[in-house]
Structure 1
């Protein structure tokens, strides 16, 4: 086999296509939760640098920059081509801002343009409530108002998402945690695309071509054109669709990181943004590896580590990052190859942070599989950052990972809720 053929083969095997259908169905809730935990990783460092108000503004800009872009991509990928509340809710079910069960959205549809939802459980609230009402208000009021609308306009610019009630909870055990209405009115002014979204639309991530879905596949759904279901059952989708969904969810991570880094850069300059985004990356890299290992019921061997790394959203999707993961040596080591000329490198999100001198995110990533795995060496070679992993003495996890562990998402378990149940519209009953 030629070197070019070898590299092509290895790159192919490092994509989500190398996973079986049931593995992908297991991975997808984990990938969505990983995206939610990005903020648990990044916000602590923002608070340290800018205080609560600065953290709030970065979070607003981060999500407003990314969510219209990745929501539009998911709509196109899965044929969610309507402009009503059902279409919006379908997109939310595939959004890293609303991972299933952890952010337990329960939807109601009244008609094509009217509906709502409650959060039967809000993992983000559980994380923030111990910090006090000021932080709860920042998340549930200051951040949610503009970012919910930014997500909604990807479906219809006349959509509005407004609260019925929301935290701080009164009484303190109020349930459900919050309730929101969704309305789309034909005579309402359209919301503009947020200014912070515009530079993200110019990135390679916004229009990178990912794996096409084979519309002729017979092993499950190839789109989400059918009825809205109360809970997505990922196993109902065809393998080809699951591959594309996984790639899109991984890309959502990178789009959020781009929005985060751009916001911090505007506030504090490129050097500070690089430092804080690097800390964010270390934290989410380690926690996600640990959860992926457990979800796939893997051990600590080199082969197991390769499997986790090939599933890791930070290293994918391959079409965007170009990253190749392989066993090295006699099977007792692992090598990660990160091309220095890729769409991800050019976008300036996470991947261009990695250098021979800064491999801490990869170190945390492999430590999350087993504390004896560590970076053994890193070098630039033939246009790639080549990082070798070897097993040594057990190590303490990075402090950045320990911060993420404070989130209830670090130990959250997904439940099997059975088959997908179509959501039946409930007409609004006139008063009087």
Structure 2
């Protein structure tokens, strides 16, 4: 047996441009499903109204910071509705096609968007009008403005119409105006937003974009009807993938801050660990399927290298060791994510549930066991059991969302959107 080596040597940078273009929308969708994973547990603990308040605070806390990060990374910083709309196209709150945003720009200060399909609405409508109102009114009003705040403090997002749908098949599902006016009073930055702005995640430096090679290196050109990720360069796609995974971490930190305000530390960690377990399993399965990876140890090693729990590498201290026959995962405790108290800190020798869900998302026969654990980190090995493990409750809850089985389609060459 050869000595174990870190495999692959890098995560996103090891992928082809084509595979990255396939992976990025998957990561955006998995970011949206974080809420599908977490909200059911909040409803049990806090009820519908408490769940809605946590959702408001987690998105308010995280979205302004990751929106600005993506603007800077892809060089489309500005203060107009075009900048706001570009940001939505690269936001885990609005994954392409599943949340099918369409846009119109009237002038730099005025525009509209509408959703031809809202996967989140499809998930919530069966629960009744009260839950639809919580999502489409109570949550959207403050969180849309918080996202727009990242571009222009005088931006306001207001509904033209929105669910509950009357009639029941109303289309588009909702429509909104975006207006930037100096007379608009900027929303107050909430303490939870300021707190997330002080995290290492908000400031971490990720892979610079190499301006050589084929494809677009930024999104500084016109607003497009759809972002076709295949048009970006390999280097730009690496950075986008890293930023999207960081969006996951920022949202999870916002979630944890909001939950901690309402329960003691043990309960807050338990709820957030359940959130992580559900999304870890679903994300692993979608990454495996999207890239056509095998359900063997080599396929799992690839999934681990790309999974949002363990990426981006500049933020998470982890290492995959695979020698062709034995697979081990090291989760260190000296990463920036450990400073923030993010997702990987919820995984330890006594709490392997998120890792079990992750590896079984690739193959239900896989199981993890502790090899060693000390203050420096946790080392686990992956074994193959004779019998498949049943799907855990947290993953099953997340799969209630239509997003768990959603399939992206090729929509062809997108058209640029100009001022009407």
Q: Please say which of residues 343-352 and 255-264 is displaced more in the overlay.
A: 343-352
Partner residue, 2:239: 244
Pair 366,104 (structure 1): closer, same or farther in 2 beyond 3 Å: same
> Deviation per CA, 1:205-245, whole angstroms, max 9, x where unpaired?
01011101112x23111111000000111011111110000
Partner residue, 2:128: 132
Partner residue, 2:273: 278
Listed as ranges, the matches of 1:311-322 within 5 Å are: 311-322=306-317
Partner residue, 1:418: 412
2:48 and 2:187 mapped to 1: Cα distance? 27
Structure 2 spans left out of the alignment, 5+ residues: none
The question of whether the paired residues in 2 share the 8 Å contact of 1:377 and 1:389 is answered with: no
Is 2:103 the partner of 1:87?
no
Partner residue, 1:358: 351
1:326 and 1:228 mapped to 2: Cα distance? 42
2:270 and 2:11 mapped to 1: Cα distance? 29
1:295 and 1:189 mapped to 2: Cα distance? 44
2:325 and 2:50 mapped to 1: Cα distance? 45
The question of whether the paired residues in 1 share the 8 Å contact of 2:109 and 2:179 is answered with: yes
Partner residue, 1:212: 208
The question of whether the paired residues in 2 share the 8 Å contact of 1:11 and 1:323 is answered with: no
Pair 318,335 (structure 1): closer, same or farther in 2 beyond 3 Å: same
2:141 and 2:129 mapped to 1: Cα distance? 17
Partner residue, 2:290: 295
Is 2:376 the partner of 1:383?
yes
Structure 1 spans left out of the alignment, 5+ residues: 427-432
State the 1:382 CA deviation.
7.5
> Deviation per CA, 1:141-168, whole angstroms, max 9, x where unpaired?
0000000000000000000000000000
> Deviation per CA, 1:13-69, whole angstroms, max 9, x where unpaired?
242111111110000000000000000000000000110011011000010000001
Pair 382,278 (structure 1): closer, same or farther in 2 beyond 3 Å: closer
1:56 and 1:187 mapped to 2: Cα distance? 29
Q: Please say which of residues 346-355 and 127-136 is displaced more in the overlay.
A: 346-355
TM-score by length of 1: 0.94
How many equivalent residue pairs?
A: 417
Aligned CA RMSD, in angstroms, stands at 1.4
> Deviation per CA, 1:106-154, whole angstroms, max 9, x where unpaired?
0000011100101000000000000000000000000000000000000
State the 1:270 CA deviation.
1.2
2:71 and 2:118 mapped to 1: Cα distance? 25
State the 1:323 CA deviation.
1.4
The question of whether the paired residues in 2 share the 8 Å contact of 1:157 and 1:192 is answered with: no
Listed as ranges, the matches of 1:301-340 within 5 Å are: 301-328=296-323, 331-340=324-333
TM-score by length of 2: 0.97
Listed as ranges, the matches of 1:195-234 within 5 Å are: 195-215=191-211, 217-234=212-229
The question of whether the paired residues in 1 share the 8 Å contact of 2:329 and 2:380 is answered with: yes
1:103 and 1:188 mapped to 2: Cα distance? 28
Is 2:396 the partner of 1:402?
yes
State the 1:410 CA deviation.
0.8
2:135 and 2:202 mapped to 1: Cα distance? 26
1:112 maps to which of 84, 108, 111: 108
The question of whether the paired residues in 1 share the 8 Å contact of 2:317 and 2:333 is answered with: no
Q: Please say which of residues 152-161 and 387-396 is displaced more in the overlay.
A: 387-396
